[in-house]
A and B are shown apart, each in its own frame.
Chain A
Amino acid sequence: MSFAQLLYTSSRTGTLGSPGFQVHAVTPSLTPEAVNALVRGHARYEPPLGSPYQPTPEERAELPVALRTTVVPGLGRVVSRTVYVGQEYRGRDGEPDSGRYGNFFTHVLVAADEQSPSIGDLAPVELWDSPSWTTDERDSVDLPPLAVAEPGDLDLEAAAQAVAAAPAGAVAAALDAVVAALDGEPTTVLVVPSSTVTAAWFACLTFALPPQLAARLTFSTYERNPADHLDLHLVAAVPGTDPGGTGYQRITRVDVTEAPAEAGSLYARAAEHLLREDPGHLFDVVRRMTEPTCDLAAPALVAGGGALDVVGPKDVGLVVAYVAALPPTCWAGTADQLAELPDDSDPATLAAWDRLHAAARHAGAEREVAREVASAALGRILGAGDGGTANLTPVSPMAPVSPAVAALRQWVDGLEAAPSVDACLSVLRRGLTLGLVGVNTVVDEMVSEKLAATLDAPALESALRDAARLAPAALDGLVGAVAESVVAQSVGGLDPRVDVLAPHTVARDRLGEHARTTRSFWPTMAWQRALVVLDPEAARDALTTLLRVAGPADEESLGLLWGAAGASRPDDLALLLQAYAQERRDPPAAVRDAALAALAAAPLPTEPPVEGDLGYLLLRVPGAATAPGVTAWCAAAWPPGSHPDVLFDSWMAWAANGLADGPGSLADVPRRELWLLIVRTTARHLADPRLAPALVVLPSTTRHRLLAAVGALVATRVASEPEAVRAARDVFVRFIRVLDADDADALLTTALERFTTRQLNEVEGMIPDACLKQWRDWRERHPRPTSATRVLGSLLRRDRTTGAGDR
């Protein structure tokens, strides 16, 4: 690798062919256009104002050196050094220099590769004081390439010390200005107190920049008029130069002898901090950076350099997000400082803390460090309250890293301080999402107690639903603990939250354990209620279990097995009555009444009864056997003849009682069923001599209505007989004999309604004489309409149907 060179000075010989300022020697590979570009960019020098007009060699040595670097299109990185050499023509062979003063010597090196950001491996600033520079004139205009560019003796540590003497914030201000210049903002004119510190500043700024930026940096350590060089990113202004004003001029002036009014960017602040604290570390961290901009590199510098002290509230999110993206192995040394970061309630910052918390909880290595990180992040998330934490990253309580107890305590405190059920649910939801439930037994107990003490059944159901959704792994633990808290708080009653807990096996187990331990009624009731909620078929066994521990005072509460409303279904009440029966105790009136009401509302049985039927059981309950529902049930269960003891008259007595109004009367549906049953049964027993006596138990209106209905059945049956007239005669004769006049009239009216006058005349011809008088009396009471009357009646019925009668 070699580097094309160019020497520019005022000399007697050179490419001009005559004395004067000219390209003194140049590597032949450089084209005229390249030479011209190099001269334009690098060949200049004017000593500072106030410099001696004819400086001695010693005074010349004190004049500032211009180390310049630019990127020349078509050539790439170019670095030059220009020094003041005094007179125009250099003496040789013992002759003194001659000519006017004002001469300078520029030595230019061109990178071997157009894409290379440096000269060999050396950054431009490393060529400060390099022994590769020359001020010697050459005998030939042809200059061979420089084989090796050697670094100068620039000591970065010493440079950092020199720069660190600047007021606080000066380094950051300079760095920010340079970064801005690299981003297209005006050239930075760096006002330094002395040209002796220029290189130190330039070196520190160069090596404090992310490598990708430093590779683009162009600068000059000295210009007589710094503000004239807008093609450079950075120019020093030493005493004796014009740094330019601060008005509308197109430069950014940074005076490093003054503390800036504003704090710098995060990157710049961190860089300054590290430069003052540990410059070697700064340069090491920066050297490894791959970020293309300072904004992107800032968190890397802060976190990688351990400069979290400089993080301001607005920067927290950026830094935390960066740390979250780092592998946990990079967190060492950062964890403790994270907790010291300033507060910032910005949603983006909280989101960053959330990501960091999740990352720390799932850390696969450095778990102690990760625990600290997770705790710090958790503290910020919880400290933010509800604001900005709506979209927290779910973390499983089974995550490999759990936060410290102190951090969990903060959450528990928040839960306990929740002023309302909604607030409590909100805090719980946050904890569930963040995986805080199920990581510590004591904490879980505290949480459960709080939930048990605060949440009613709907709220608890909501909480458990959240837990199932957000932290299924922690659900069992939470449910179990809550179940214990609930049952412990449930003394002298059944907590309705048992119903909420019931679907959870762990809750039922805990309730069972508690019941078995205490062997008292209410814990057992809670346990059994949970079982019944899950499986109503378990009620029978539950009652058995409960009755073993129930005292007399507890018996009235057995119905709670079916919930706060007690048993209401016939089957449930049957089970309950059975239980009382087994204990040979009468059920409480409330249970009895509930059972009667249930029976009165239930459809009548259509199958033969069994002992477990509610009606059956009620028959044994004092005060229940005569209830309409029970007698109706008996009438349906045991029709006449179904049992030797059930005769028609006694059956009719049940049925008649079943139709009675008042307490325990049948509901509409079973009442209609019972009525049909009575009608059909009566119709089947028309030949029973006990019919008439049996009907006496019915009120007269009911009886007549019944007989009319029976008559309609008879009419149907008579009509289907082959000899309907004869059958009609039999019906008349039978009922006129066994029924009193009114009852017979009610039945016969419907039974013979469809017979025509001619048919009735035929019947009359067959009526025995003993009954003939009753027959004729009946016919007189029930004359058949004439044809004209039927037609008229038919028309009237039709008009009534169509509404024509309204006209």
Chain B
Amino acid sequence: MARAQIMLCPYCFRRWSTATAAFRCVSQDRSRCPHEPDEPLGQLLGVDAPLSGRVTTRRGRLGMAFEVKRGEPVRCQCGGPTKSICPECHSDLPQRFTQAPSRSLALIGTKSSGKTHYIAVTLTELERRIAPAFAGSFTTLDDHTRNRIDSELYPRLFQSGQVLDATAGMAGNAQVRRPLVSRVTLGGRASNLVFFDAAGEDLGRVDLMQVEGRYITESDGLVLMLDPLQVPRLRDLLGGRFELPAMTVDAYTQLGTLVGLLREARAIPARKKIDVPIAVAISKLDTLRDVLGESHPIFATQTHAGRYDRERSHDLSQAMRAEAVEWLGPRLDALLREEFETYAFFGVSALGENPRNGVLGNGVAPFRVEDPLLWLLDSWGGVPT
């Protein structure tokens, strides 16, 4: 029997102890087990309490997690089978969700900074290359994630070589509100990874969104995507060679907004730093080969011999930090140092090339997309070193 641990619901972004478990009756016989109004679910969805299967709650003893005994699945009082749900919002939980520590990652970045592409490619890379390199495995935990990868992201990006659509704001887009939930096991250490994608525009109005805003403030780790093609100094250098996205807000402003949100939501006093690790990932690294030079350590061949190399990661972070200060000035780094306990710089390229007219000339060739993720996993103890 395991001790109870705190889980974060990937839908309502509230935390609960596994000492409590909730189950919903999934019997089809509504005459014997009529559906009941489900107010917690209605609050989550912003609708009147929808009629749903009866909820049964179980509690572990003496601070232990409630575990379903082998051969004795939890049944509704009507005798029907049940499905595990979040005790807070009554959303259906991904399969075996409470059996591993759950880590949520929120991707933040300006519009067109590459967040969606980063997630799509990272999930694919985790499954095909990274997990095997750590003698581990990767699996999606729900149908939505599997379908999103198999039916949308992979065919479009990897098979057709066409960039993904712009991500709409999550305010009206239920699809975005659904996280991509997977389990990655590296060196025998399993972690549930919950990715939240969002439009760059959302950060500017996240304070207006009661539920969705928590995807950022309650995350276990943050990835701040920094688009070099939106850095004025680099635009001057790269203009004419690449299609440049429209300029939006600058990263410093966005980070400042994020800091305010986190401190307010987590009630972190000014004298204390934010204890959420943040990975600052300079995206579209492929466009910077000429700027940084091929000899830049970031372009060195990367190998994973079954373990995470902290020292190497630290060195690369310092290198990219220096570049960032060069391009952006010291204020971003200073803000990070002052506000966050843990942060690091990375350089990543999800697509491997800058698309033209939305089309990749050579297909997807990702580069170092796993670095921010492995760094975060290391900070949580989820990867062997």
A residues with CB within 8 A of B? 8, 10, 12, 16, 18-22, 32, 36, 39-46, 49, 53-54, 88-89, 99-104, 184-186, 224-225, 228-231, 242, 247-248, 250
A19 touching B246 in the complex, CB below 8 Å, given contacts A186-B50, A230-B45: yes
Q: Are A250 and B173 in contact (CB under 8 A)?
A: no
Which chain B residues border A39 with CB–CB below 8 Å?
169, 171-172
CB distance from B145 to the nearest CB of A (A): 14
Q: Are B249 and A103 in contact (CB under 8 A)?
A: no
Interface residues of B in 194-219 (CB under 8 A from A): 199-201, 204-205, 208
24 A-B pairs with CB atoms under 8 Å apart are A18-B201, A18-B248, A22-B169, A36-B171, A36-B208, A39-B171, A40-B171, A43-B168, A44-B173, A44-B174, A46-B173, A49-B151, A53-B156, A53-B162, A53-B358, A88-B166, A99-B112, A101-B166, A102-B164, A102-B168, A225-B175, A231-B46, A248-B53, A250-B52
Q: Are B169 and A19 in contact (CB under 8 A)?
A: no
A36's nearest neighbour on chain B, judged by CB, is B208
Q: Are B52 and A10 in contact (CB under 8 A)?
A: no
Q: Are A53 and B160 in contact (CB under 8 A)?
A: yes
Which chain B residues border A229 with CB–CB below 8 Å?
174
Which chain B residues border A21 with CB–CB below 8 Å?
166, 168-169, 199, 201
CB distance from B260 to the nearest CB of A (A): 18
Q: Is B294 an interface residue (CB 8 A)?
A: no
Which one of B50, B83, B166, B205 contacts A250 once the chains associate, using CB atoms below 8 Å? B50
CB distance from A285 to the nearest CB of B (A): 31
Which chain A residues border B245 with CB–CB below 8 Å?
99
Q: Are A247 and B248 in contact (CB under 8 A)?
A: no
B243's nearest neighbour on chain A, judged by CB, is A98
CA of A49 to CA of B154, assembled, Å? 13
CA of A100 to CA of B160, assembled, Å? 15
Nearest first, the 5 A-B pairs at minimum CB distance are: A102-B165, A44-B172, A19-B246, A20-B201, A228-B174
CB distance from A142 to the nearest CB of B (A): 19
The winner among B52, B111, B151, B204 for most chain A CB atoms within 10 A is B111
Which chain B residues border A230 with CB–CB below 8 Å?
45, 47, 50
Q: Are B169 and A99 in contact (CB under 8 A)?
A: no
Which chain A residues border B358 with CB–CB below 8 Å?
53-54, 100-101
CA of A36 to CA of B174, assembled, Å? 15
Which chain B residues border A100 with CB–CB below 8 Å?
112, 163-166, 358
CA of A225 to CA of B168, assembled, Å? 15
Q: A10-B168, A16-B204, A99-B245 are in contact. List 17 more A-B contacts (CB 8 A).
A: A19-B247, A20-B111, A21-B166, A21-B201, A22-B169, A44-B173, A44-B174, A46-B165, A100-B165, A100-B166, A102-B166, A104-B168, A184-B48, A225-B174, A229-B174, A248-B24, A248-B53
Which one of B111, B172, B175, B208 contacts A42 once the chains associate, using CB atoms below 8 Å? B172
The winner among A8, A100, A250 for most chain B CB atoms within 10 A is A100
CA of A378 to CA of B64, assembled, Å? 75
- A interface footprint on B219-261 (CB within 8 Å = 1, 0 otherwise): 0000000000000000000000000011111000000000000
Q: Are B151 and A231 in contact (CB under 8 A)?
A: no
Q: Is B7 an interface residue (CB 8 A)?
A: no
B25's nearest neighbour on chain A, judged by CB, is A248
Q: Are A20 and B199 in contact (CB under 8 A)?
A: yes
Q: Are B165 and A101 in contact (CB under 8 A)?
A: yes
Interface residues of B in 168-200 (CB under 8 A from A): 168-169, 171-175, 199-200
CB distance from B202 to the nearest CB of A (A): 9
CA of A574 to CA of B45, assembled, Å? 105
A106's nearest neighbour on chain B, judged by CB, is B172
A224's nearest neighbour on chain B, judged by CB, is B175
Q: Is B28 an interface residue (CB 8 A)?
A: yes
B81's nearest neighbour on chain A, judged by CB, is A248
CA of A249 to CA of B165, assembled, Å? 29
Which chain B residues border A99 with CB–CB below 8 Å?
112, 166, 245-246
CA of A435 to CA of B159, assembled, Å? 85
Chain B interface size range: 35 or more
A247 touching B28 in the complex, CB below 8 Å, given contacts A16-B204, A53-B160: yes
Which chain B residues border A22 with CB–CB below 8 Å?
169, 201
Q: Are B246 and A12 in contact (CB under 8 A)?
A: yes
Which chain B residues border A231 with CB–CB below 8 Å?
45-47
Does more than half of chain B's interface fall in helix, strand or loop, or is it mixed?
loop
CB distance from B52 to the nearest CB of A (A): 6
Which chain A residues border B168 with CB–CB below 8 Å?
10, 21, 43-46, 102, 104
CB distance from A13 to the nearest CB of B (A): 11
Which one of B28, B46, B169 contacts A43 once the chains associate, using CB atoms below 8 Å? B169
Q: Are A18 and B247 in contact (CB under 8 A)?
A: yes
CB distance from A49 to the nearest CB of B (A): 6
CA of A740 to CA of B112, assembled, Å? 164
Q: Are B249 and A18 in contact (CB under 8 A)?
A: yes
CA of A37 to CA of B46, assembled, Å? 11
CB distance from B180 to the nearest CB of A (A): 15
Which chain B residues border A53 with CB–CB below 8 Å?
156, 160, 162, 165, 358
Q: Is B51 an interface residue (CB 8 A)?
A: yes
A248 touching B28 in the complex, CB below 8 Å, given contacts A20-B111, A100-B166: yes
A19 touching B28 in the complex, CB below 8 Å, given contacts A36-B208, A40-B171, A102-B167: no
CB distance from A219 to the nearest CB of B (A): 14
Which chain B residues border A102 with CB–CB below 8 Å?
164-168
Which one of B26, B111, B151, B175 contacts A248 once the chains associate, using CB atoms below 8 Å? B26
Q: Are B248 and A40 in contact (CB under 8 A)?
A: no
CA of A12 to CA of B111, assembled, Å? 12
Q: Are A20 and B160 in contact (CB under 8 A)?
A: no
CA of A18 to CA of B204, assembled, Å? 10
Q: Are A20 and B200 in contact (CB under 8 A)?
A: yes
Q: Are A186 and B51 in contact (CB under 8 A)?
A: yes
CB distance from A87 to the nearest CB of B (A): 8
A103's nearest neighbour on chain B, judged by CB, is B166
Which chain B residues border A41 with CB–CB below 8 Å?
172
Which one of B45, B51, B53, B156 contacts A185 once the chains associate, using CB atoms below 8 Å? B51
A44's nearest neighbour on chain B, judged by CB, is B172
CB distance from A375 to the nearest CB of B (A): 42
Q: Is B338 an interface residue (CB 8 A)?
A: no
CB distance from B178 to the nearest CB of A (A): 8
CA of A334 to CA of B224, assembled, Å? 73
The winner among B26, B200, B205, B246 for most chain A CB atoms within 10 A is B246
CB distance from B95 to the nearest CB of A (A): 15
CA of A45 to CA of B46, assembled, Å? 19
Q: Is B323 an interface residue (CB 8 A)?
A: no
CA of A22 to CA of B246, assembled, Å? 14
Q: Is B152 an interface residue (CB 8 A)?
A: yes
A43 touching B50 in the complex, CB below 8 Å, given contacts A18-B247, A49-B151: no
Which chain B residues border A49 with CB–CB below 8 Å?
151-152
Q: Are B172 and A16 in contact (CB under 8 A)?
A: no
Q: Are A46 and B249 in contact (CB under 8 A)?
A: no
B176's nearest neighbour on chain A, judged by CB, is A44
Which chain B residues border A228 with CB–CB below 8 Å?
174-175
Which chain A residues border B50 with CB–CB below 8 Å?
186, 230, 250
CB distance from A552 to the nearest CB of B (A): 87
Which chain A residues border B46 with CB–CB below 8 Å?
40, 231
Which chain A residues border B151 with CB–CB below 8 Å?
49
CA of A225 to CA of B175, assembled, Å? 8
CA of A43 to CA of B174, assembled, Å? 11
CA of A250 to CA of B112, assembled, Å? 35
A248's nearest neighbour on chain B, judged by CB, is B26
The winner among B24, B51, B168, B201 for most chain A CB atoms within 10 A is B168
CA of A46 to CA of B246, assembled, Å? 22
A229's nearest neighbour on chain B, judged by CB, is B174
Which one of A18, A54, A104, A224 contacts B111 once the chains associate, using CB atoms below 8 Å? A18
Interface residues of B in 267-294 (CB under 8 A from A): none
B167's nearest neighbour on chain A, judged by CB, is A102
Interface residues of B in 356-379 (CB under 8 A from A): 358
CB distance from A10 to the nearest CB of B (A): 6
Which chain A residues border B248 with CB–CB below 8 Å?
18-20
CA of A732 to CA of B247, assembled, Å? 169
